[in-house]
Chains A and B, each alone.
Chain A
């Protein structure tokens, strides 16, 4: 039995089908990648798994229980932690206090009596952002804020980590260190499900990869298989043979957001 089982999830926003019967799993002690082109429904899947979005259909099983209708905080109590593609750090608090809040929430009222400072510092050290401990969270670089969100998750000692583009904003050396960190977290027995655009990182770190396109899982397998899969190449590049002509008649379009119903956009 897998740690996380997503089965037949459908999410519709008005007439748009963001997720169309997606089903995949994530195992404990392994790093699972969830990749796909922009707008494929990856973040929507994360929202459904973590409970921020109600699916129109489908079920989510986590740690042997169906959690499809459970509220966000209960899933967290069962051992699910997540980070956000669009950062959700507590901007007016210092980096250290961000993690401290996570400990406070996790430990509840009785935990308030126990000192947490040492635990907080250990976590900041582990993800490598101790240098920023005293800075306000809305003043630190994006990459650091992502690591902060990871540290905040880890405060609750989760069984499953949902990481939404955790490495964007990190430079090459930082990304390597981050890959190491992920392997370490998985070695502790945690399951990691990661949405990521950095293919080098995905290919080196993941044990298994699911590819999402137009809200459907089009391929699942080990990194090497995924790399060789023609359907995946087509989904990513629009054609399966890179030698095919590239369209030059259209200006490049930068997508600034996911679907509006889920995400508020600010410039």
Chain B
């Protein structure tokens, strides 16, 4: 009996901390419509700051607490809202997601840079005190946490319902423009809510640190628990959010107490929050489609078939040259780059064309690799079958969120990534706990591709083929449909398109591409394990895909090389390992609004060269320059975003040729 009570109290304690974090998340989301994936990362950085103040610099605890919760955290929240996430809520969900994932990774990098890995501890509040409740010892820290969550709930209630600014906050949820019309200041409201929200993240982080330790990832990923709780409240209701957080805390505590520590069910203990998040998303009521305005996004230029073919051939030649000249170790790196590039191609389809975000694309690659190793059919048949398995799993992940929109789809991939990481991949029927599987290299049409060089060439060939297929797809009816669906899902619906199945198909196709890449990777490496496909690595992958341009094959190729170089760079500059991460994270934040990313530089360079040298040779032949639209695409990017945003979005040279029109 007393053990039941003590586990309940433990559950209430963690639940209270989740509730504090989740209410901050709800507050920022409802007032600005930006779902902050980095909410937990903020909490992590603030917990480190608290350690720095109270332990390293030796400030009294109350002072450190005041400085972090009252100055640093709100200041950070205000700054982020003011200069980073402002206006994101009105744009596509995918952009907001990418920018906050950028903040997420950037925060982790920054924390690693400022506070390099070392053993650090933060003692609980009043470590020596506690109470005896019905035979169970309750620490003062636990009591304080539970009381604080109630205080936070009360203060938030008073803030939202009894103050002028709180009323304005609730009003800005519904309609910021109308609020402005009536003399309110939505920007101030947004800044305030981010300041308060970040403080709440900080408080939750500081309260949890004595229990889970100062760890970059554990603290950051705790936010999944907060997501789950916030989802139960539909990202709106604070009481439901609190209930969800408490329930989750208790469930987690009971899972640890009563589920077997061995056997098939053992894995469940670690994934209770992810399962909870997944089920809440599945059970969410159907989303209402929003009706907006004409949206066009800056599309990457679509290369002509000749151009695409010649670049593909050039890439093959380069791969062949590398294959004959490079060392085994370096060839493995080239193969890795090709793998990443293929996974990024799957994101071009999903995110660049389709406008959906997956936070676990590498996990799908892992599914493909696992299938390839398990099938033990090292030929084209086995390869395609592995891709199909990954595609089917992708479709399954998308299936429950058929009725919902982008944000929920992305969060369900996150839950899926965590589930696979902690439960499936490590299970005996998969890679096994810390285990690896052997995978053989491919035989193509009876020819066994044995040498690493030849295998790398085959991988690059697959990349080229997938890239060409993608461009072909983009040109045709399906490509048009994808763009149409991204621009206006509701118009597609009223024209008779069943968005749900189309979306599942898109998700499955993208997962299949990633799975194919994973299967090829398995053959390249020979032995693979769960560590190769860790969920967390999907985030830098997504970010680099965005930084290099998620709308083009060029971007995927460059991004693949970039992601491969990342660990190389980090191991050669161990001192700057965190900084490199931070640069990528914050780079994605800066470039997140421009879907074409750095590839734009390549395109504008190409255009300039074309103008300089290409025009002269073409003029006598055609008489005029090629006009856009022949192939069903319009090459010159224009945008409809509001002027302030347009300035931020406009790529260095992409929109110079034709002035941007904004539909009146």
Residues of A at the B interface (CB closer than 8 Å) are: 47, 50-53, 71-73, 75-77, 80-82, 84, 86-94, 96-98, 100-102, 104-106, 112, 133-142, 145, 149, 152-153, 155-156, 256-257, 260-267
Task: Determine if B118 is an interface residue (Cβ-Cβ < 8 Å).
Answer: no
Interface string of B632-644 (1 = CB under 8 A from A): 1110001110100
Contact of B663 among A81, A105, A112, A142 (CB under 8 A): A142
Which residue of chain A has its CB nearest to the CB of B299?
A: A92
The answer on a CB contact under 8 Å between B496 and A90 is: no
The answer on a CB contact under 8 Å between A138 and B639 is: yes
Task: Determine if B181 is an interface residue (Cβ-Cβ < 8 Å).
Answer: yes
Residues from chain B with a CB closer than 8 A to the CB of A94 are 629, 632-634
Distance (whole angstroms) from the CB of A138 to the closest CB of chain B: 4
Q: How far is the CA of A108 from the CA of B208 in the complex (A)?
A: 54
Distance (whole angstroms) from the CB of B289 to the closest CB of chain A: 5
17 further A-B pairs in the complex, CB-CB below 8 A; given A97-B480, A100-B632: A53-B288, A72-B490, A87-B663, A91-B640, A92-B634, A93-B487, A97-B632, A100-B477, A101-B484, A106-B496, A112-B477, A136-B634, A138-B296, A152-B495, A262-B291, A265-B177, A266-B177
Residues from chain B with a CB closer than 8 A to the CB of A137 are 294, 296
Q: How far is the CA of A120 from the CA of B480 in the complex (A)?
A: 14
Residues from chain B with a CB closer than 8 A to the CB of A262 are 288, 291
Residues from chain B with a CB closer than 8 A to the CB of A145 are 294, 663
Known: A94-B634, A257-B175. A88 touches B497 (CB 8 A): no
Distance (whole angstroms) from the CB of A121 to the closest CB of chain B: 13
Q: How far is the CA of A133 from the CA of B632 in the complex (A)?
A: 11
Interface string of B521-553 (1 = CB under 8 A from A): 000000000000000000000000000000000
The answer on a CB contact under 8 Å between A256 and B178 is: yes
The answer on a CB contact under 8 Å between B494 and A50 is: yes
The answer on a CB contact under 8 Å between A52 and B490 is: yes
Q: How far is the CA of A201 from the CA of B293 in the complex (A)?
A: 25
Distance (whole angstroms) from the CB of B372 to the closest CB of chain A: 31
Residues from chain B with a CB closer than 8 A to the CB of A75 are 494
15 contacts between A and B (CB under 8 A): A72-B490, A86-B292, A87-B663, A89-B488, A89-B491, A90-B488, A92-B297, A101-B477, A101-B484, A134-B627, A136-B638, A137-B294, A256-B178, A260-B174, A266-B293
Task: Determine if B610 is an interface residue (Cβ-Cβ < 8 Å).
Answer: no
Contact of A73 among B296, B488, B496, B632 (CB under 8 A): B496
Q: How far is the CA of A168 from the CA of B547 in the complex (A)?
A: 41
Residues from chain B with a CB closer than 8 A to the CB of A92 are 295-297, 299, 483, 486-487, 634
Residues of B at the A interface (CB closer than 8 Å) are: 90, 174-178, 181, 288-297, 299, 476-477, 480-481, 483-484, 486-488, 490-499, 627-629, 632-634, 638-640, 642, 661, 663-664
Which residue of chain B has its CB nearest to the CB of A80?
A: B494
Residues from chain B with a CB closer than 8 A to the CB of A87 are 293-294, 663
Q: How far is the CA of A152 from the CA of B483 in the complex (A)?
A: 15
What 6 pairs across the A-B complex have the smallest Cβ distances? A91-B296, A76-B496, A138-B296, A72-B493, A92-B296, A139-B661
Question: How many CB-defined contacts (below 8 Å) exist between A and B?
Answer: 179
The answer on a CB contact under 8 Å between A76 and B495 is: yes
Q: How far is the CA of A97 from the CA of B631 in the complex (A)?
A: 10
Contact of B494 among A81, A100, A257 (CB under 8 A): A81
Residues from chain A with a CB closer than 8 A to the CB of B496 are 73, 76-77, 105-106, 156
Q: How far is the CA of A138 from the CA of B655 in the complex (A)?
A: 14
Residues from chain B with a CB closer than 8 A to the CB of A263 are 290-292
The answer on a CB contact under 8 Å between B90 and A264 is: yes
The answer on a CB contact under 8 Å between B642 and A266 is: yes
Known: A87-B663, A92-B299, A156-B495. A105 touches B294 (CB 8 A): no
Known: A91-B295, A104-B477. A256 touches B493 (CB 8 A): no
Residues from chain B with a CB closer than 8 A to the CB of A106 are 495-496
The answer on a CB contact under 8 Å between A136 and B296 is: yes
The answer on a CB contact under 8 Å between B177 and A257 is: yes
Residues from chain B with a CB closer than 8 A to the CB of A133 are 629
Residues from chain B with a CB closer than 8 A to the CB of A139 are 638, 661, 663
Which residue of chain B has its CB nearest to the CB of A265?
A: B177
Known: A71-B498, A97-B632. A88 touches B490 (CB 8 A): yes
Residues from chain A with a CB closer than 8 A to the CB of B292 are 86, 88, 263-264, 266
Residues from chain A with a CB closer than 8 A to the CB of B176 are 265
The answer on a CB contact under 8 Å between B288 and A96 is: no
The answer on a CB contact under 8 Å between A138 and B294 is: yes
Known: A138-B294, A145-B663. A102 touches B495 (CB 8 A): yes
Q: How far is the CA of A52 from the CA of B642 in the complex (A)?
A: 26
Q: How far is the CA of A137 from the CA of B629 in the complex (A)?
A: 12
Residues from chain A with a CB closer than 8 A to the CB of B484 are 90, 93, 98, 101
Residues from chain A with a CB closer than 8 A to the CB of B487 are 89-93
Which residue of chain A has its CB nearest to the CB of B663?
A: A138
Q: How far is the CA of A177 from the CA of B493 in the complex (A)?
A: 29
Residues from chain B with a CB closer than 8 A to the CB of A97 are 480, 632-633
Which residue of chain B has its CB nearest to the CB of A50?
A: B494
